[in-house]
């Protein structure tokens, strides 16, 4: 390197150093100090050791698409399952498109409610959770009042509201997810103590259980108990006390079955559905559900090609919609539905873990509670249709016919979507 080049390099270094004040030096009067350039903000973060970036979009588009796909498939399958119902004297006054139009109306109402719900900050639901829980308890009492509650097939579970029959147990599922998440956040410091941490939640579950069993609606109580116990477990409650509580719940369910002849008969029918003693009684729905699934084989009989929906399979548009899907769309259709619910539950748990990592305990536990609700109820309904669980009056979330169930499912998911939006805002460095 020549002497001229070295001289030019030293001059350049001194010129650059003049713009960078030394530690402890004060800038000279009249001299402008160049402001440091802002640190670039990325729109992604590294997750795990894989190094794969997770894009921070405005909301979880994949979750919304999968939910809308299930809603759309549900509308199509409800229409397919009910198009022949007017041939029955029981539904003779209904048009062939009656259930289709009402299901489409329920979905539209649910989407409007979701658009409103997603605008509400999660902090509001955290503060309102005890009141939502109390409101659901009051409605569970109101539905039992003679002249108010509407009875169907011997069960009084609905409150007529004109455009739809509202089912308070659906609100109770949402309320218990909120209340349990709020409860665990408030009891985080004493979660190792049974009396102060678990006992109050056990009392709340007992009250809900008594009200639901008075309807009766044992299926809804099972789902609510699973949601509450799942949130307690995820919240870090003492392990021994948790499994003791599970044992008490299982014992209570077994006692209810033993002391109720018609529940015990339903269990026996589940174990031996083809027995002539049960095939035309308690095992009738299960046998025809299995026949429908067997006829579907791999690719199904084609949309609209179900035979079991022609007045053979009772409640084909509600509790046994999956059997109609299996008969018309085959194993492939059923597998797609199962995978969709598995993906939704997994995604909700991921959003919950993300919220907890951001120190948002209520939001995280609530999101995971909704994941337990969607995944658990779908698992029970599918198990009933496939003959691996006893028959229960539980619908398939997002798909089966029903107004209050669809609305509450979508509202619950809209709150989770709001949690995800706030998570993304926090990861950008903003405020939730």
Q: Kindly give the residue spans of alpha helices, DSSP state H, lying in 52-121.
A: 61-82, 98-117
Distance of CA 262 to CAs 137, 258, 259, 265, 282, Å?
Answer: 27, 9, 9, 5, 9
Mean pLDDT across 45-62:
53
Whether the per-residue pLDDT at 182 is higher than 80: the answer is yes
Mean pLDDT across 349-365:
94
Residue 355, helix vs strand vs coil: helix
pLDDT at residue 75 in the model: 97
Whether the per-residue pLDDT at 41 is higher than 50: the answer is no
Mean pLDDT across 72-84:
95
Whether the per-residue pLDDT at 204 is higher than 70: the answer is yes
Lowest mean pLDDT among 91-105, 176-190, 249-263, 289-303: 249-263
CB 353 within 8 A of CB 366: no
Q: Which residue has the higher pLDDT, 259 or 86?
A: 86
CB 227 within 8 A of CB 369: yes
pLDDT at residue 271 in the model: 83
d(CA 271, CA 280): 15
pLDDT at residue 44 in the model: 42
Mean pLDDT across 41-51:
40
pLDDT at residue 14 in the model: 59
Whether the per-residue pLDDT at 279 is higher than 60: the answer is yes
Q: Find residue 159's DSSP bridge partners.
A: 166
Whether the per-residue pLDDT at 352 is higher than 70: the answer is yes
Whether the per-residue pLDDT at 194 is higher than 70: the answer is no
Lowest mean pLDDT among 28-37, 132-141, 258-267, 383-392: 28-37
Q: How confident is the model at residue 219 (pLDDT cuts 50, 70, 90)?
A: confident
pLDDT at residue 214 in the model: 83
Whether the per-residue pLDDT at 43 is higher than 70: the answer is no
pLDDT at residue 21 in the model: 46
Instruction: Work out whether strand 150-152 and strand 44-46 pair parallel, antiparallel, or are unpaired.
Output: unpaired
Mean pLDDT across 341-347:
97
Give the chain's mean pLDDT.
83
pLDDT at residue 155 in the model: 75
Whether the per-residue pLDDT at 52 is higher than 50: the answer is no
Mean pLDDT across 30-47:
45
């Amino acid at each position: 390197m020549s002497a001229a080049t070295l001289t030019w390099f030293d001059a350049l270094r001194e010129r650059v150093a003049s713009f960078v004040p030394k530690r402890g030096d004060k800038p000279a009067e009249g001299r402008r100090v160049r402001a440091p350039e802002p640190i670039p903000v990325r729109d992604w973060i590294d997750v795990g050791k894989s190094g794969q970036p997770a894009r921070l979009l405005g909301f979880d588009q994949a979750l919304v698409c999968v939910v809308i796909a299930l809603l759309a498939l549900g509308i199509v399958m409800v229409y397919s399952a009910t198009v022949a119902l007017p041939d029955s004297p029981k539904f003779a006054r209904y048009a062939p498109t009656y259930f289709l139009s009402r299901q489409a109306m329920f979905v539209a109402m649910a989407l409007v409610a979701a658009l409103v719900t997603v605008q509400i900050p999660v902090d509001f639901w955290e503060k309102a959770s005890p009141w939502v829980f109390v409101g659901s308890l009051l409605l569970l009492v109101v539905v039992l009042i003679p002249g108010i509650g509407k009875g169907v097939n011997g069960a009084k579970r609905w409150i007529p509201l004109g455009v739809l029959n509202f089912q308070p147990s659906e609100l109770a599922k949402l309320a218990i997810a909120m209340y349990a998440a709020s409860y665990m956040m408030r009891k985080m410091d004493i979660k190792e103590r049974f009396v102060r941490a678990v006992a109050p939640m056990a009392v709340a579950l007992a009250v809900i259980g008594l009200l639901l069993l008075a309807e009766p609606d044992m299926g809804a109580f099972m789902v609510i108990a699973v949601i509450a116990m799942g949130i307690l477990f995820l919240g870090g409650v003492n392990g021994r006390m948790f499994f003791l509580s599970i044992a008490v719940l299982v014992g209570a369910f077994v006692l209810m079955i033993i002391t109720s002849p018609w529940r015990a008969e339903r269990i026996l029918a589940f174990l031996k559905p083809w027995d002539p003693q049960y095939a035309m009684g308690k095992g009738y729905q299960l046998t025809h559900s299995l026949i429908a699934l067997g006829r579907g084989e791999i690719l199904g009989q084609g949309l609209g090609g179900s035979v079991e929906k022609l007045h053979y399979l009772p409640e084909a548009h509600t509790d046994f919609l999956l059997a109609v899907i299996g008969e018309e769309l085959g194993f492939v259709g059923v597998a797609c539905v199962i995978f969709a619910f598995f993906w939704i539950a997994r995604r909700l748990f991921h959003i919950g873990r993300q919220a907890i990592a951001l120190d948002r305990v209520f939001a995280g536990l609530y999101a995971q509670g909704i994941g337990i609700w969607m995944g658990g109820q779908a698992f029970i309904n599918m198990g009933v249709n496939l003959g691996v669980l006893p028959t229960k009056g539980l619908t398939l979330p997002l798909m089966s016919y029903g107004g209050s169930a669809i609305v509450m499912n979508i509202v619950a998911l809209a709150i989770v979507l709001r949690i995800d939006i706030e998570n993304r805002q926090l990861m950008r460095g903003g405020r939730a």
